[in-house]
Structure 1
Amino acid sequence: MKTSKSQQEQTRRHLIRTAVDMMTEQGYEASTMKQIARAAGIGDATIYKYFPTKEKLLLAYYELCIEIVLEVTLETPGLEQFGLQERLQRLVDALLELLLADREFVEMTRSVVGKSPLLMMRDQMPGQQALKAQVIAFIAAAEQSSEIAACDFKNLLGGLFADYLFAVIAYWLKDESEEFSDTTQLVDLTLAVLVLALKSGVVNKLSELASFLIRNQLSRLMQNGSGLLDILKLAKRGLAA
């Protein structure tokens, strides 16, 4: 008997949730695919039809999160009245709100990815294409409404947003401020700088080399955090002027 797409999706989400709970409780290495399958109530072989490896199952958690975040963001009341910064901020806020309940698991996955950096190569980044398409749509809408200047780098910025999100997560995991206020300030400042740059047309003057350097240094800067908020405040004031 064939299962419907909706049933397959329910099974996929159930497997992901089961894996997250098990890995959080007993660790990544100690959790086997067989254990996850049995805890989820499916056959040992069936799990491999959904996820060929445990690493793919781990990444599927983030892909599912991006799917949910995009749904939540697009269903936000009054979203059509939001400016570009508010729309992008809604995306980030929705993701962090979703990850909060699984913060211990998210912290654990960072060490797993650190041992296997190829897992997070650009083409494999979870939810990359859907996220990229939505960010491009937001930028195009802002461009069409004349909120920002004509942007020649929509495709590049859309691709970079996934890198930005995972860098924000790294910063958030190290944030010990009350109610993660430093992360809130970081997101507000970084997105404000981006939108001001788009309004001024500065982004169109960036080269491919500059974008490459930004992408490769972004995670390091956010994980370090030292002086980053002050730098962003200066950049925001400069662009606003």
Structure 2
Amino acid sequence: MRTTKAQQAQSHRLLIRTAVDLMTQHGFEGTTMKQIARAAELGDATIYKYFPSKEKLVLAYFEQAVEDALVRMRKTKGLDKFSLQERMQLLVDHLLETLLPDREFVALAHQLLNKTPLALLSGALPGKALLQAAFAEMLEAAQASGEMPPCGFQGSLSSLMADYVYAVVGFWLRDTSDGFADTTRMTDLSLGVLTLALRSGLVDRLLELGGFMLRSQLARLLQPGGGWLDLMQRARQTLQTPKMP
């Protein structure tokens, strides 16, 4: 009997939820794929149709959290009247609210990511493409409304803003203030500064200046005697030098 897309989505979410609960109780190493499958009342082999490893389950949790936060944000009444800063703040707030019930697991997963980044992050950060697309939409809306001038580096900027969200999550996990007040102040200040810079066109000018300087330096280095070969040789020697234990 074939399962419907709705049933597959339900099983996908159930496995993630079960993995979060078990890993929170027993740790990442203390939890097996078989335990997760059986606790979710699915066949031992069925879980591998959805996730090839525990690592992928961890990544899927964050992907799901970002999706849920975006759904909640887009259901906000009057969202089209929100300023750029309000929209960005709303997205960050909804994501942290989504993560809050599982903060212990999020901390565990964050430590795991730091210990084994190559194993877990062979691709893009989980949810980054969704965040990047959401920020790109916000920037387009802000430009269309005249809130900020046209930005020629929208793709790069939205990618940096997505990375910023992951930095906020890391800050939040270390925040011991009452009600995570320090996280609230940090995001309010940083997003406020970013918004002011975008409205003034400063970010676009800085990125343009950085690109000009990079192109100028490359043009100089690539000329005969410009030092390109020497620079590349030194870089290769540095990369080939074995690191001390």
Tell me, yes or no, whether TM beats 0.5: yes
Contact 2:128 2:163 in 1 (8 A): no
Q: Which moved more, 1:152-161 or 1:71-80?
A: 152-161
Match of 1:20 in 2: 20
Change (3 A) 1:73 1:90: same
Match of 1:219 in 2: none
Q: How many Å separate the matches in 2 of 1:123 and 1:192? A: 31
Contact 1:15 1:36 in 2 (8 A): yes
Match of 2:145 in 1: 145
The aligned amino acid for 2:38 is R
Change (3 A) 1:201 1:13: same
Match of 1:231 in 2: none
Match of 1:134 in 2: 134
Q: Which moved more, 1:112-121 or 1:191-200?
A: 112-121
Match of 1:90 in 2: 90
1:38-187 equivalences under 5 Å are 38-118=38-118, 121=121, 123-187=123-187
Matched, 1:200 2:200: yes
Q: How many Å separate the matches in 2 of 1:152 and 1:121? A: 29
Q: Structure 1 runs of 4+ off > 6 angstroms?
A: 208-211
Q: How many Å separate the matches in 2 of 1:122 and 1:144? A: 36
- Give aligned-pair identity as a percent: 53
Cα deviation 1:35-56 (Å, max 9, x = unaligned): 0000000011110110011100
Change (3 A) 1:61 1:70: same
Cα deviation 1:104-150 (Å, max 9, x = unaligned): 10111111111111256484211122221111011000001100111
Q: How many residues align?
A: 211
Q: How many Å separate the matches in 2 of 1:196 and 1:121? A: 33
Q: How many Å separate the matches in 1 of 2:112 and 2:91? A: 25
Say what the alpha-carbon RMSD is for the aligned residues.
Answer: 1.7
Question: Unmatched 5+ residue regions in structure 2?
Answer: 212-245
**SS at structure 1 position matched to 2:191:** helix
The aligned amino acid for 2:33 is M
Match of 1:191 in 2: 191
Q: How many Å separate the matches in 2 of 1:120 and 1:89? A: 28
The aligned amino acid for 2:177 is S
Contact 2:79 2:87 in 1 (8 A): yes
- Residue 209 of structure 1 and its aligned partner are, at CA, apart by 9.9
